[in-house]
Structure 1
């Protein structure tokens, strides 16, 4: 919570500096709107912004769940044998450096201009960092911990849930953080570059429209929501999970 409050305080400082720069009059209002203009736009368009935000979060949630499921499947397959591990590693070496936005033209050719194309980009963007962290996490489990679990009679899913999952959870959590960030960026970028998904759209579509109509305060209002959601997810969700799991376990062990 302290980190979250510090980030909000930093945003307030940035807003004050922004307003001081605007008051110098060196930049036109069209390109450098005041905080008051952004706040008014934010309030007047709150219903539309809420709708766009929920649309973005819904489509990102679906895409992220799909990516997590595929990443878990790929991790299980890669741990089944050396050949499968090499196949997954080679795929990661090829696909991981490729930006998700770069495959959007292919997604449009395959799925058309719609939600499915955006979902494909989200899944592609989040999948590879998830596989990388999941695979590294399960590979890093100490052998002695597995042996202790087996000696206690744990096998199959019990061994996975009670030994393997806690031991690899720091890597899994890191993968989820990276996957969420990549999915969020991919969704906004795809809509921002190519417009709405089949007549609908989220925050990226909002930025696209406002930029096209030169409504600069609306652009910054949408950007503010994106920043606030990113901070909230990182410091209220992921940091909270980390404090209740990884850091708590380290304290108990020490």
Structure 2
């Protein structure tokens, strides 16, 4: 409850600062966008935001964006877990594919957009490719690290009791790797979300990124800021209410959470 109060208070303080700067007239229009710091800037932005929600435009765009994110994220998790297991299981795969994955992880996902457009054209497939690429390499590295760090004692005991193959993976390796996998999911989601926003700005119809681009083309700063608020709110809610809670629960269950 205290945490919620602090966050609400912080948001209120930022709004008051925005309002004070808007009313002060200290910043001429030549220095700041008129709708960012003007006498009615905050009212215009909030009005556009509520109007967009009321007429369904923002809700429709949000649904389109989240559906793209969900599909790409599921593909990235599947591919990442598979590659991570192969890298952890086979030394020659680690020496070859593992090195390549580490190199690709440092490449921003937006860099892949020109290739995606050439390969798939401007459409859903290109956006899906960008989202998947944005999360796959991070998930692969986290998964391989988790699988490699399974205590050898667990594996020896399981093999002594006759476990092997898929049964060993399902009952020992995956459960023991859960803390690493959950942390990887959280980071991979963040990369996928950013990649999706960048991709929608350029190559897709519908979605929040498309609304941002529309606001830019129309010089509508109120629409741009409204969509930015929605993007920030969605990102914060998913990170805090889904992945952070999941991570804390797992850390507590495994007895590795730290209290500073």
Contact 1:210 1:218 in 2 (8 A): yes
Closer, same or farther: CA 176–7 of 1 in aligned 2, 3 Å? farther
Deviation by residue 1:196-240 (Cα, 9 ceiling, x = unmatched):
51xx22111111111111111111110111111111111100122
Q: How does 1:197-212 map to 2 (within 5 A)?
A: 197=204, 200-212=205-217
Structure with greater contact order relative to length (CA < 8 Å, sep ≥ 6): 1
Q: Distance in 1 between matches of 2:59 and 2:237?
A: 16
How much is the aligned-residue C-alpha RMSD, in angstroms? 2.1
Residue 21 of structure 2 is matched in structure 1 by 21
Contact 1:4 1:231 in 2 (8 A): no
Secondary structure of the residue aligned to 1:250 is coil
Closer, same or farther: CA 215–132 of 1 in aligned 2, 3 Å? same
Tell me the CA shift for residue 6 of structure 1: 4.1
Q: Distance in 2 between matches of 1:11 and 1:162?
A: 45
Deviation by residue 1:97-128 (Cα, 9 ceiling, x = unmatched):
11111111110000000010111111111111
The correspondence for 1:67, drawn from 76, 86, 111, is: 76
The answer as to 2:166 corresponding to 1:160 is: no
Contact 1:7 1:231 in 2 (8 A): no
The correspondence for 2:94, drawn from 79, 85, 109, is: 85
Residue 53 of structure 1 is matched in structure 2 by 62
The correspondence for 1:234, drawn from 233, 239, 260, is: 239
Number of aligned residues: 248
Tell me the CA shift for residue 156 of structure 1: 3.6
Residue 11 of structure 2 is matched in structure 1 by 11
Contact 1:42 1:218 in 2 (8 A): yes
Residue 42 of structure 1 is matched in structure 2 by 49
Contact 2:84 2:142 in 1 (8 A): no
The correspondence for 2:180, drawn from 164, 171, 184, is: 171
* Consecutive unaligned residues in structure 1, runs of 5 or more: none
Tell me the CA shift for residue 250 of structure 1: 0.7
User: TM-score of the superposition, structure 1-length normalised?
Assistant: 0.89
Q: Distance in 2 between matches of 1:5 and 1:188?
A: 30
The correspondence for 2:253, drawn from 207, 231, 248, is: 248
Secondary structure of the residue aligned to 2:37 is coil
Secondary structure of the residue aligned to 2:212 is helix
User: TM-score of the superposition, structure 2-length normalised?
Assistant: 0.87
Residue 112 of structure 1 is matched in structure 2 by 121
The correspondence for 1:217, drawn from 210, 218, 222, is: 222
Secondary structure of the residue aligned to 1:214 is coil
Bigger drift between 161-170 and 52-61 goes to: 161-170
Tell me the CA shift for residue 151 of structure 1: 4.4
* Consecutive unaligned residues in structure 2, runs of 5 or more: none
